[in-house]
Amino acid sequence: MYPEEFQYTKDHEWLRVDEGIGTLGITEHAQKELGDVVYVELPKVGDPVTASETLGTVESVKAVSEVYSPVTGEVLAVNDKLQNHPELLNSDPHGSAWLVQIRLSDPKEIEKLMSAEEYEAYVREDKAH
């Protein structure tokens, strides 16, 4: 269910890193917990982002979830499609509903992230609680 080529955070986000550029999204588990996504707030291209700090929010009808950046760097691209089609986050969270692309300033930061296998175990444990 969770792509092997992604890395995952405890806040239920995924990151795919390609030549120093990370693409960030929320996981299938996150979208399920949120329910129907109605609004997405994202940074602007060129904005600096810092690891563990808020980068945007994802809203459903009855919940708001902050998106934390897993890495430090600069925003290279923002998925504008989500402005008018937030429902993509429910239908395709691991694909077309990516949030932002970030140029990483410290590639070492991703070492702390989870693999797909680790994340699946984490979700299982989370559910048990």
Partner 1 sequence: MRYLPNSPSDRAEMLRTIGYGSVEELFSQIPQEIRFQGRLNLPGPLSEQEILDFFREAASQTSREYASFLGAGAYSHFRPVAVDAMLSRGEFFTAYTPYQGELAQGTLQAMFEFQTLMTQLTGMEVSNASLYDGSTATTEAVLMALRLTRRNRVLVARSLHPEYREVMTTYVRHQGTEMVNVPYSAAGQLNMGELELALKPETAAVVVQSPNFFGVVEHCRKVAELVHQKGALLIVSVTEPLSLAVINPPSEADIVAGEAQSFGVPVAFGGPYLGFLATREKFMRQMPGRLVGQTVDTEGRRGFVLTLATREQHIRREKATSNICTNQSLCALAATIYLCLLGKEGLKALAEHNLAKAHYAAHQLLDVPDITIPFQGPYFNEFVVKVPGGAEGLLRILRREKILGGVSLGRFYPELKDHILVCVTETVNKATIDHMARVYNDYAKRKKSGNARKATASHALGQENV
Partner 2 sequence: MKDHIRHARPHISRDEDLIFERSAPGKCGVDPLPLEVPSVSASELLGKEFHRAEIHGFPEVSELEVIRHFTRLSTWNYGVDTGLYPLGSCTMKYNPRINEVVARLEGLATDHPYTPPELAQGCLRILDETARCLAEITGMDAVSLQPAAGAQGELSGILMIRAFLAERGNPRRYILIPDSAHGTNPASVATSGYEVRPLKSGARGTIDLAEVDRAMTEEVAGLMLTNPNTLGIFEVQIREICNLVHQKGGLVYMDGANMNALLGIARPADFGADVMHLNLHKTFTTPHGGGGPGSGPVAVKKFLEPYLPSPTVERAADGTYRLNYNRPKSIGRVRAFYGNFGMAVRALAYIAANGGEGLLQTTQDAVLNANYVMRRLQDVYDLPYNGPCLHECVLSDHRQAARGVRTGDIAKRLIDYGFHPYTTSFPLIVQGALMIEPTESASMDELDEFIEAMRAIAEEIEEDPEFVLKAPHTTRVSRLDEATAARKPILRWKK
Residues of this chain that interact with partner 2 (CB under 8 A) are 36, 38-39, 59-62, 86-87
Q: Which two tokens stand for residue 94?
A: 């691991």
Q: Among the candidate windows 17-25, 44-52, 53-61, 115-123, which touches partner 1 by CB under 8 A?
A: 53-61
Measured from the CB atom, the residue of 7 and 60 that comes closer to partner 1 is 60
86 contact choice in partner 2, partner 1, none (CB below 5 to 8 Å, kind-dependent) = partner 2
Residue 64 interaction partner, one of partner 1, partner 2, none, beta carbon < 5-8 Å per kind: partner 1
Cβ neighbours of residue 52 under 8 Å, at least 6 residues apart? 68, 69, 70
- Sequence-ordered list of residues with C-beta below 8 angstroms from that of 6, at least 6 positions apart, any chain: 14, 15, 16, 94, 116
Among 62, 108, 124, 127, binds partner 1 (CB under 8 A): 62
Tell whether the torsion through CA atoms of 53, 78, 28 and 6 is positive or negative: negative
Of 64 and 121, which has the nearer Cβ to partner 1? 64
**Closer residue to partner 1, CB minimum distance, 41 or 74:** 41
Tokens linked to 42: 């994202």
